[in-house]
Amino acid sequence: MARKIIVSNRLPVKVRRADGTMTFEPSEGGLATGLGSVYKEGENIWLGWPGLCVEESEEQQVITELQKERMQPVFLTESDIKEYYEGFSNETLWPTFHYFSQFAVYEQSYWEAYYRVNQKFCEQIVKFANPDDTIWIHDYQLLLLPSMVRESLPDSTIGFFQHIPFPSYEVFRMLPWRKQILQGLLGADLIGFHTYDDVRHFVSSVIHLVGLAASHGIIETGNRSVMVDAFPMGIDYDKYAQTANSEKVSGMVQEFQEALRHRKIILSIDRLDYSKGIPQRLRAFEMFLKQYPEFHEQVTLIMIVVPSRDQVEKYKELKIEVDELVGRINGLYRTLSWAPVQYYYHSFPFEELSAFYRMAHVALVTPMRDGMNLVCKEYIASRNDGTGVLILSEMAGAAKELSEAILINPNDVHQMVGALQQALIVPEENQRVAVASMQATVQKYNIHHWVNLFMDRLTYAKEKQNALKTT
């Protein structure tokens, strides 16, 4: 029987080593939830890196534990992690794809490691897959994998989804390995992005750099047709809505509100990443406090920053910048009983996050660039009383769907200040109209809808391919 194999750089599990013992905790990420119904079925599996460097003596234990959850590990060495994950993925591709080309490192040894690790993933797939299996590859760490798999399993059905933006041709072509990357992707039957702009940029790069023809979302490679389309990713709406309604979260909301003296809350949640625009957001909040003293002691910015990629230089520098900005704002404006910014540099359990979403009068989601951004959708799904205001960057894929938000350009600090002031005084009636409309969108186009849509289109792409072969 044909199976489905999900492949991503990281497995949906948190493997930790403490005092020589390994612990295994399922991850609560949206992708893990959405794909749970796929990879946990029948003989299907999820293949990826367990997220840490595993000693040879520990490998069997990791394999046994993960197999119980239908996962298959791809082990990475210290140098793979340094050069493939931190290096090419996060110092070359990540900045380029988020329009931060000035941060990109062009290092041949990183490229070689990226190629080598993509091959390592391919070897694992070939070990587990049958020739007629469906393989769904995820994200920018594995751009070469579709063609590598195609070569080893020519008849397999291969889907690829990119979770981050695809930059315009003018930016993409700056990469020294641009052509190999595109050729790597073209091994897939279906390539998905979050938005039509990403699709356009990708197709334009293929036309200019590989010289292939494309029309109506089909790229002709000579012996195959590759379908390209937009699939805006959603969240597990019911999980967020139900958790927000739970008694436990209601209790937390009450407790947190009392601790914060029932002030108005502006909420900001991100991984620590320069693409998220955290310093720009803090500067806007600082300017807002300067311009609107009437809001002093009336509002608190709860800023949750989740540690990420902390071995990468630009992330270390960003941490220092954020720490300094928070210190400066609190140093300037705080009083005995009020800290304008409540800054947390750690992740929170799911229910506490839900309580923050419920408490927040305003969600401030202002990335410089983001493939989709799911935080804004989580906020909307958690607004169980129907109120709330979302300030959202135009540069997030989600802005295409959530047009009832207050949309801002994150480079325009004055616009952000104005949006904050406006958000804090929007009449409740207007909030309800906007939130209801956004809730309908986020509920309908949820993670299950996204998985089904992609899988159905992949089946269709393959059937078309097979029909062409037989004519």
Q: Which residues are at the interface with ligand F6P (CB under 6 A)?
A: 10, 139, 163-164, 308-309
Q: What are phi and psi of 414, to 5 degrees?
A: -65, -40
Rounded Cα distance between 87 and 334, Å, is 40
Q: List the one residue out of 1, 44, 50 whose CA is nearest residue 22.
A: 50
Specify the length of the chain in residues: 471
* Dihedral angle sign, alpha carbons of residues 215, 194, 155, 84: positive
Q: Residue 89 or 431: which CB sits closer to ligand F6P?
A: 89
Q: Residue 309 or 358: which CB sits closer to ligand F6P?
A: 309
What Rg value do the Cα atoms of the chain yield, rounded? 23
Rounded Cα distance between 219 and 213, Å, is 6
Q: What's the closest the beta carbon of residue 257 comes to ligand F6P, in angstroms?
A: 30
Reading the block at residue 429, the tokens are 């009636």
Rounded Cα distance between 451 and 31, Å, is 9
Edge-to-edge strand list for the sheet holding 362-365: 341-344, 299-306, 264-271, 362-365, 389-393, 406-408
Q: What's the closest the beta carbon of residue 467 comes to ligand F6P, in angstroms?
A: 34
**Strands of 394-466, DSSP E:** 406-408
User: Is there a contact between 167 and 99 (Cβ–Cβ < 8 Å)?
Assistant: yes
Q: What's the closest the beta carbon of residue 55 comes to ligand F6P, in angstroms?
A: 21
Reading the block at residue 78, the tokens are 């210290």
User: Is there a contact between 227 and 190 (Cβ–Cβ < 8 Å)?
Assistant: yes
Rounded Cα distance between 402 and 385, Å, is 19
Q: Residue 154 or 307: which CB sits closer to ligand F6P?
A: 307
Clarify whether 370 is annotated catalytic.
Answer: yes
Q: What's the closest the beta carbon of residue 270 comes to ligand F6P, in angstroms?
A: 11
Helix axes 145-152, 108-128, angle to 10 degrees: 40
Catalytic position from the list 163, 189, 198, 236: 163
Q: Residue 99 or 256: which CB sits closer to ligand F6P?
A: 99
Clarify whether 346 is annotated catalytic.
Answer: no
Q: Residue 8 or 183: which CB sits closer to ligand F6P?
A: 8
Q: What's the closest the beta carbon of residue 276 comes to ligand F6P, in angstroms?
A: 11
Q: Which pairing describes strands 341-344 and 299-306: parallel, antiparallel, or unpaired? A: parallel
Q: What's the closest the beta carbon of residue 363 comes to ligand F6P, in angstroms?
A: 18
Task: Kindly list the catalytic residues.
Answer: 163, 370
